[in-house]
Structure 1
Amino acid sequence: MPLPPLVEPVAALSDAESARTARHQVLAGLGEPGQRRLRAAHVAVVGAGGLGAPVVLALAAAGVGEITIIDDDDVELSNLQRQIMHRHSDVGRPKVDSAVRVAADLSPETVVHAHRVRLASANAADLLAGADLVIDGTDTFETRLEVAAAAERLGIPLVWGVIQEFAAQITVFWSAPPEGSDAVVLSDLYPEGSVGELPTCAAVGVFGALCLQAGSILAMEAIKLITGIGDPLLGRVLVIDALRAKTAEVPLRSARATAPPRPVDQPVVPHVSVAEVAAEVAAGARLLDVREDAEVASGMISGAQHLPLAQVLADPAALGADRMVVICQVGARARRAAEALRAAGADAVVLSGGMDAWNAQEPAR
């Protein structure tokens, strides 16, 4: 079943972006509101290779507003068989530079943050700060473990895929999904110690065209989560056998207790506007900022308490039962925190539009 949209929509699209994405806006279920959600979204893509390359192309073409691309490699001639974002003239240059170029060519309003580094536990929080979801297109299991651990700490969805030879696996992990959905993480698919030494693609090869198919599905899963349409692969693994032109689906259950289904008529978490914040504070409400350390360094609402989302989700009852206005950058993480806090007995509401809305209306206050 569809999950709630991951982000709040921007107020409006530019005329040029509205014209460019016109075919999205007539899709039943996605429409103009969904396109505005895509414009508001920030997706982090780890890896600019066989999977990351088509993902960046698809996300930029779809109108995702912000893409962070993380990769420390340079383009090699042997990459061009499957990594379609790169060109012959890019050989010897950083892979992330190709992402900046192709996104600008496809979607001039998409902002690309290029990081020519390898993601590791020490830098993951900074690299993924502000992202609404992560797509893992890396090529070693060690890096996949680091990406998964970072996404789990942040409580954001991880759209995950792997390719070897003629086969692919694709799924969605999420350590803190909306209430009523089970958390599923990488260790549910690959328990610790279950993965031995894997052959490299240089040793066994990769079917180039399969990268396009799998990368396209990764991008589609991200778009579905952002806009709240369709049935994401949370709790399911899609398996592709390219040689036999077959796909199969394998159920993936959490090792933890299954959450009860959400009642159909359960109300959504209440939101308050920027204009209502002063009245909330005057009435005794606490302001709780659940962004990461790197994000709050650039500024917070005066008087707000800072506690990153992962810490809130680890023990929401510890924050008490007070009235709280929960804040993040655009609203998605604040909603997840507020859901957990309300389940623990707190009277939590979300600042609609988050810090983006607060900063946009600052002169009016």
Structure 2
Amino acid sequence: MVNYASGEAKGELSGAEYRRYSRHLLLPGFTPESQRKLRSAKVAVVGAGGLGSPILQYLAAAGVGSLTVIDADLVDSSNLQRQVIHSEAAVGTPKVASAAHAVHALNQAVHVREVPEVLTPANALATLAGHDLVLDGTDNFPTRYLVSDACEILNVPLIWGSILAFDGQVAVFFGDEGRGVTYRDVHPRPPEPGEVPSCSEAGVLGPLVGVIGSTMAMEALKVLTGLGSPLYGRIQLYSALTGDWTRLDVARRAGRAPVTEIEDLVETCGFPAVEASGAAPVRAEVLSPAEALREAATGRLLIDIREESEAAEGMLPHAVNIPKTQLMEFARGERAGVGPLSEVGDLHGAILHCAGGARSAAAQAELAALGISVANMAGGYVASVTLRP
């Protein structure tokens, strides 16, 4: 964990600051006090990837005094198409370290705290406490609910953004001590596994994250300085293919009680309990990529359920490719033996993986409903990249 030296948080702006932020200070309503508010602000950014890149760069450039960067991932070459805060030289290094280096190079007065950890129900409140504002640039539903719930408990405003393929969304949530709108008012029910594809499966157009991330940074400056009208109670929807923005007004769900404790949605949103026909629900077996590869090396069947065109671009050691459609047809008795599988019993205990984890989680649940127990490799082929030679 690295903390770069903090800039002065109190007192008048220096001559150097007047010069540096002169284009801010020319704006109607943007006063030296506005700039001092940015300098004294403490902002947490969850995710140093596609959305986190423009967020961190613009907040640092704007003079936000303290940034906490939270991300457990390493920089991968597949990130560079859209995660512009990272460079080729940073591949294989922690994203938080790469992002902190870029922020420090842009503005040495910004205090940067690196948190190279996964945000969990156990650490979320402690990690986010003490911040004036949180921005969520993550790409999975359990973390989105976790960040929203933590912010509601802490009564901290949250700027949320989401991107997929050609479309993006931005909103500002604030629990406001039980009166305001949060992520749970917009999405009261977590999606089922496989219901919504990930970016690693559906793709994302690189500049889209710049549009949405920059808009999130703009909303952050509005919230911190009091300028304009932040997107409280509104979601802005953007289509990159048409260039259109659509406004969606949202309200707090009638009767919804304030969130008072953190729920672990990993168990119900992405890696669920599964239920075999006529049996009591059991917790699905979920393996990390490292665990799955170790199991496969000892002879446990590892099935890559991606399409053949995807598998042609690369496969994991010891894996066999059986596309999900073919695998499910075999499991239902609609197809004869496929790959190394000649009987349905051969499928019991196998490990499934796809590109990002969503399809394999869905297949795991579907097979459980047929009485077939398999494991799911969390994160899929993309998450295993740092383990491959």
Q: Which has the larger radius of gyration?
A: 2
Instruction: Deviation per CA, 1:54-81: give whole Å up to 9, x if none.
Output: 1000000000000000000000000000
Q: Secondary structure at the match of 2:162?
A: strand
Could you tell me which residue of structure 2 aligns to residue 251 of structure 1?
A: 249
Asked if structure 2 preserves the Cα contact closer than 8 Å seen for 1:70 and 1:114, the reply is yes
TM-score, length of structure 1 as denominator length: 0.65
Could you tell me which residue of structure 2 aligns to residue 19 of structure 1?
A: 19
Counterparts of 2:28 and 2:211, CA distance in 1: 24
Once the 2 structures are TM-superposed, how far is the Cα of residue 192 of structure 1 from its aligned partner? 2.3
Could you tell me which residue of structure 2 aligns to residue 242 of structure 1?
A: 240
For the aligned residue pairs, the C-alpha RMSD in angstroms reads 1.9
Could you tell me which residue of structure 1 aligns to residue 142 of structure 2?
A: 142
Question: Bigger CA drift: 219-228 or 185-194?
Answer: 185-194
Could you tell me which residue of structure 1 aligns to residue 301 of structure 2?
A: none
Q: Secondary structure at the match of 2:84?
A: coil
Could you tell me which residue of structure 1 aligns to residue 230 of structure 2?
A: 232
Counterparts of 2:168 and 2:179, CA distance in 1: 24
Asked if structure 1 preserves the Cα contact closer than 8 Å seen for 2:38 and 2:225, the reply is yes
Match of 2:185 among 166, 185, 188: 188
Q: Secondary structure at the match of 2:74?
A: coil
Could you tell me which residue of structure 1 aligns to residue 113 of structure 2?
A: 113
Instruction: Deviation per CA, 1:127-182: give whole Å up to 9, x if none.
Output: 112110100000101111111111111000000000000000100110017xxx95
Counterparts of 1:160 and 1:10, CA distance in 2: 29
Instruction: Deviation per CA, 1:238-282: give whole Å up to 9, x if none.
Output: 000000111100001111479xxxxxxxxxxxxxxxxxxxxxxxx
In structure 2, relative to structure 1, the CA distance for the partners of 1:122 and 1:245 (3 Å cut) is same
Instruction: Deviation per CA, 1:294-321: give whole Å up to 9, x if none.
Output: xxxxxxxxxxxxxxxx89xxxxxxxxxx
In structure 2, relative to structure 1, the CA distance for the partners of 1:27 and 1:195 (3 Å cut) is farther
Once the 2 structures are TM-superposed, how far is the Cα of residue 15 of structure 1 from its aligned partner? 2.7
Asked if structure 1 preserves the Cα contact closer than 8 Å seen for 2:234 and 2:250, the reply is yes
Could you tell me which residue of structure 2 aligns to residue 204 of structure 1?
A: 202
In structure 2, relative to structure 1, the CA distance for the partners of 1:249 and 1:37 (3 Å cut) is same
Could you tell me which residue of structure 1 aligns to residue 361 of structure 2?
A: none
In structure 2, relative to structure 1, the CA distance for the partners of 1:167 and 1:150 (3 Å cut) is same
Listed as ranges, the matches of 1:63-74 within 5 Å are 63-74=63-74
Asked if structure 2 preserves the Cα contact closer than 8 Å seen for 1:10 and 1:37, the reply is no
Instruction: Give the residue type in structure 2 aligned to 1:95.
Output: K
Counterparts of 1:28 and 1:246, CA distance in 2: 28
Question: Bigger CA drift: 102-111 or 161-170?
Answer: 102-111
Once the 2 structures are TM-superposed, how far is the Cα of residue 30 of structure 1 from its aligned partner? 1.5
In structure 2, relative to structure 1, the CA distance for the partners of 1:128 and 1:193 (3 Å cut) is closer
In structure 2, relative to structure 1, the CA distance for the partners of 1:46 and 1:164 (3 Å cut) is same
Asked if structure 2 preserves the Cα contact closer than 8 Å seen for 1:46 and 1:134, the reply is yes
Q: Secondary structure at the match of 2:150?
A: helix
Give the % identical residues. Answer: 43
Asked if structure 2 preserves the Cα contact closer than 8 Å seen for 1:99 and 1:112, the reply is no
Asked if structure 1 preserves the Cα contact closer than 8 Å seen for 2:60 and 2:107, the reply is yes
Q: Secondary structure at the match of 1:81?
A: coil
Counterparts of 1:240 and 1:208, CA distance in 2: 14
Instruction: Deviation per CA, 1:6-59: give whole Å up to 9, x if none.
Output: xxx832223322221111111111221111100010110000000011100000
Counterparts of 2:59 and 2:46, CA distance in 1: 13
Instruction: Give the residue type in structure 2 aligned to 1:126.
Output: A
Counterparts of 1:85 and 1:144, CA distance in 2: 22
Counterparts of 1:232 and 1:240, CA distance in 2: 17
Asked if structure 1 preserves the Cα contact closer than 8 Å seen for 2:141 and 2:190, the reply is no
Instruction: Deviation per CA, 1:215-248: give whole Å up to 9, x if none.
Output: 0000010100000010110111000000011110
Match of 1:213 among 211, 214, 226: 211
Asked if structure 2 preserves the Cα contact closer than 8 Å seen for 1:137 and 1:162, the reply is yes
Instruction: Give the residue type in structure 2 aligned to 1:28.
Output: P
Counterparts of 2:61 and 2:255, CA distance in 1: 39
Once the 2 structures are TM-superposed, how far is the Cα of residue 99 of structure 1 from its aligned partner? 1.9
Question: Bigger CA drift: 168-177 or 13-22?
Answer: 13-22
Instruction: Give the residue type in structure 2 aligned to 1:186.
Output: Y
Question: Bigger CA drift: 157-166 or 184-193?
Answer: 184-193
Listed as ranges, the matches of 1:26-175 within 5 Å are 26-175=26-175
Instruction: Give the residue type in structure 2 aligned to 1:250.
Output: L
Q: Secondary structure at the match of 1:168?
A: strand
Counterparts of 1:246 and 1:161, CA distance in 2: 17
Q: Unmatched 5+ residue regions in structure 1?
A: 1-8, 259-309, 312-365
In structure 2, relative to structure 1, the CA distance for the partners of 1:195 and 1:151 (3 Å cut) is farther
